[in-house]
């Protein structure tokens, strides 16, 4: 007997609306060049938009699903330092455009709703994936996913700067386990089902990689391209927009090969949850570099996985074998 798939209509509706609201806030911040960014303890940047996006999405999720933990990238402790009170005030101005009842205390609480821990059911959020791309004026994404029993059930990825094939700028990817992946305009109009592309030979494979050279081992990627006889140079893009590009058939695979200098670095769950289901529901394959499925049941890191390979599927094991041999 085949059991019907569970329905997630309300989750999809709330998740899409909140991600769209966050995308509006992020684009408003980007237009306002005077807005501030702050350095985190790991020296990576975080902006008014990262915090604002997280506050809006966490507020919406906590209202609709008060018992669901949210594991999100940012934390408000930085904002509670006196030196950052100007940043908090700026965030509040943007949030009030959408939630007029907001005040600084509420904003802090909404952001800190993202401090949840792993549970049988939880959400994971990257309020701005690719903050460096966001600051550079390049690609970035707002990535939200629902996880149940360690598996991604829903993925919503807004890419406000990604060209849509119909000529508009801004794309919304939505995927539900077992129900396919769609790509529409950022406002949700005109969603179309996605299908990864196929190539006849490994020579034709088109890779896509991060703009940041420290985020994957480029030397091994070059060696892999040579081993597979690939002829095209890799595309480069910030954020999980790369997963969307593979899902819509503009590239064949995306790798994250940990650099030898970074030891056994583990990936953050929010950097892969939404993107990975968009590729798998478009007919592709996503595993780690050892061929293991991504395990979202452990912690905010993919502690049981090593690296990432997201591909259109046909040559997935050949890519993994070649990586293992170089």
Residues marked active site are found at 50, 131
Question: For residues 65-91, b (16+ Cβ closer than 10 Å) or e, as one string?
Answer: beebbbbbbbbbebbeeeebeebbebb
How many Å apart are CA 24 and CA 53, to the nearest integer? 9
- Does residue 129 belong to the site contacting Mg ion (CB under 5 A)? yes
Near Mg ion in 74-113, by CB under 5 A: none
When the beta carbons of 102 and 207 are compared against ligand AMP, the nearer one is 207
Task: Return the biggest CA–CA distance within the chain.
Answer: 61
- Does residue 129 belong to the site contacting ligand AMP (CB under 6 A)? yes
Look-up: residue for tokens 């985190």? 40
Classify the C-alpha dihedral 200-201-202-203 as positive or negative. Answer: negative
Helix axes 85-96, 9-31, angle to 10 degrees: 120
Name which position in 189, 214, 222, 324 contacts ligand AMP (CB under 6 A).
Answer: 214
Which residue is nearest to Mg ion, using beta carbons?
129
Which one of Mg ion, ligand AMP, none interacts with residue 215, CB within 5 to 8 A by kind?
ligand AMP
- Does residue 238 belong to the site contacting Mg ion (CB under 5 A)? no
- Does residue 212 belong to the site contacting ligand AMP (CB under 6 A)? yes
How many Å apart are CA 155 and CA 314, to the nearest integer? 23
Near ligand AMP in 9-48, by CB under 6 A: none
> What six digits make up the tokens of 297?
């049941």
Which one of Mg ion, ligand AMP, none interacts with residue 74, CB within 5 to 8 A by kind?
none
- Does residue 268 belong to the site contacting ligand AMP (CB under 6 A)? yes
- Does residue 210 belong to the site contacting ligand AMP (CB under 6 A)? yes
Least Cβ distance, residue 271 to Mg ion (angstroms): 4
Pair 192, 184: CB distance under 8 Å? yes
> What six digits make up the tokens of 161?
């700067």
How many Å apart are CA 241 and CA 123, to the nearest integer? 19
Least Cβ distance, residue 9 to Mg ion (angstroms): 28
How many Å apart are CA 127 and CA 133, to the nearest integer? 13
How many Å apart are CA 76 and CA 302, to the nearest integer? 23
- Does residue 215 belong to the site contacting ligand AMP (CB under 6 A)? yes
Least Cβ distance, residue 126 to Mg ion (angstroms): 4
When the beta carbons of 48 and 143 are compared against ligand AMP, the nearer one is 143
- Does residue 271 belong to the site contacting Mg ion (CB under 5 A)? yes
Which stretches of the chain bind Mg ion, using CB under 5 A? 126, 129, 271
Which stretches of the chain bind ligand AMP, using CB under 6 A? 129-130, 210, 212, 214-215, 238-239, 256, 262, 265, 268, 271
């Amino acid at each position: 007997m085949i059991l019907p798939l569970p329905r997630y209509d309300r989750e999809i509706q709330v998740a899409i609306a909140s991600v769209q609201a966050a995308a509006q806030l992020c684009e408003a911040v980007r237009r306002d060049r005077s807005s501030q960014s702050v350095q985190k303890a790991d020296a990576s940047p975080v902006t008014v938009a990262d915090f604002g996006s997280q506050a809006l999405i966490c507020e919406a999720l906590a209202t609709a699903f008060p018992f669901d933990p949210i594991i999100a990238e940012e934390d408000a402790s930085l904002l509670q330092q006196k030196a950052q009170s100007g940043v908090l005030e700026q965030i509040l101005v943007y949030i009030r455009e959408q939630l007029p009842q907001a005040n600084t205390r509420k904003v802090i609480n909404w952001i800190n709703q993202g401090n949840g821990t792993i549970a049988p059911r939880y959400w994971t959020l990257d309020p701005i994936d690719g903050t460096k791309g966001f600051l550079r004026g390049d690609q970035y994404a707002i990535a939200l996913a629902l996880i149940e029993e360690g598996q991604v059930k829903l993925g919503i990825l807004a890419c406000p700067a990604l060209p849509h094939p119909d000529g508009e700028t801004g794309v919304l990817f939505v995927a539900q386990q077992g129900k396919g992946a769609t790509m529409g305009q950022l406002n949700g109009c005109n969603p179309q089902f996605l299908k990864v592309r196929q190539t006849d030979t490994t020579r034709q494979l088109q890779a896509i990689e991060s703009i940041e050279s420290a985020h994957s081992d480029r030397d091994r990627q070059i060696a892999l391209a040579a081993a597979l006889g690939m002829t095209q140079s890799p595309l480069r893009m910030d954020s999980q927009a790369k997963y969307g590009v593979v899902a819509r058939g503009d590239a064949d695979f995306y790798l994250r090969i940990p650099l030898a200098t970074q030891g056994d670095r583990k990936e953050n769950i929010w950097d892969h949850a939404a993107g990975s289901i968009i590729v798998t529901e478009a007919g592709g394959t996503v595993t780690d570099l050892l061929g293991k499925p991504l395990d979202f049941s452990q912690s905010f890191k993919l502690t049981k996985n090593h690296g990432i390979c997201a591909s259109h599927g046909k040559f997935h094991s050949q890519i993994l074998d070649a990586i293992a041999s170089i």
